Amino acid sequence: MSDKSTLATPVLPATRPRLPLQANGRPTVLYNPHPSPQLSSWYRMGPAILDYFRRSDRYNLIFAPHVMLFQRRVSATIEPPRLRFPGRIAPELRAMPHILVDPGSPASIDMTYTRAADIYLGDASSQIYEFLQTPRPALFANPHRHRWQDDPNFAHWRCGPVFTRIDELDATLAAAVAGQARFAEEQRRLFDYSIDVTDTPSPARASDAIAAMVRAARA
């Protein structure tokens, strides 16, 4: 078993990663849509969002959706019953120097992108809570027009402005950046509520919890 000094090593480095596309100095947006047809912005708005950033001379884009979005030709839900086709990512998008497309590499799930991005654009993905480790501007796409204000499932939408139409994207991006001070306190509150960070590193806490369970089972 590792000694205590190994367990105490921080999992994440102190500085945020910088990706090659960020060398141009533009703010970098992470677009992180959920795969579920009734929750995801991808099926109704996603290609238009990608096209907005393809034409942009102001922003970089990391397109790193939930790793399951493009794993199946058809996505289905039972309640309500829906079928949606994720489609394909336009090849020319991958060639744009200010856009990074990653449908499912390890960097999609190891916090590389949630830490590197300057702005988060999402819908129902829980990766917003990884992003909020460091409070930064966020905005949320609601093409389904969910009545989210009193729904705890959409509590994270209180961390930035919400838009329902693609023609609102440009103004909502600007509002997220300009209004970050207004959302920062709620971002910190939701992060602290969702991810319990203490002075004891997570690996040490996990091993202590397992040891406690073993002792209880033997008692």
pLDDT for residue 201: 64
d(CA 158, CA 176): 12
pLDDT for residue 3: 40
What tokens were used for 188?
A: 């910190």
Q: State mean pLDDT over 188-198.
A: 79
Domains and CATH numbers, the chain: 18-218 (3.40.50.2000)
Q: State mean pLDDT over 177-182.
A: 97
Q: Greater confidence, 2 or 200?
A: 200
Is 4:94 a contact under the CB 8 Å cutoff?
Answer: no
Is 163:139 a contact under the CB 8 Å cutoff?
Answer: yes
The residues with which 162 forms a beta bridge, in sequence order, are 140
SS3 at position 87? coil
Q: State mean pLDDT over 100-127.
A: 95
pLDDT tens digits, residue range 124-169? 999 999 999 999 999 999 999 999 999 999 999 999 999 999 999 9
Q: Greater confidence, 89 or 185?
A: 185
The residues with which 82 forms a beta bridge, in sequence order, are 77
In degrees, to the nearest 5, what angle opens at C-alpha 53 toward C-alphas 181 and 51? Answer: 135
* Look-up of token digits 């990706």: 19
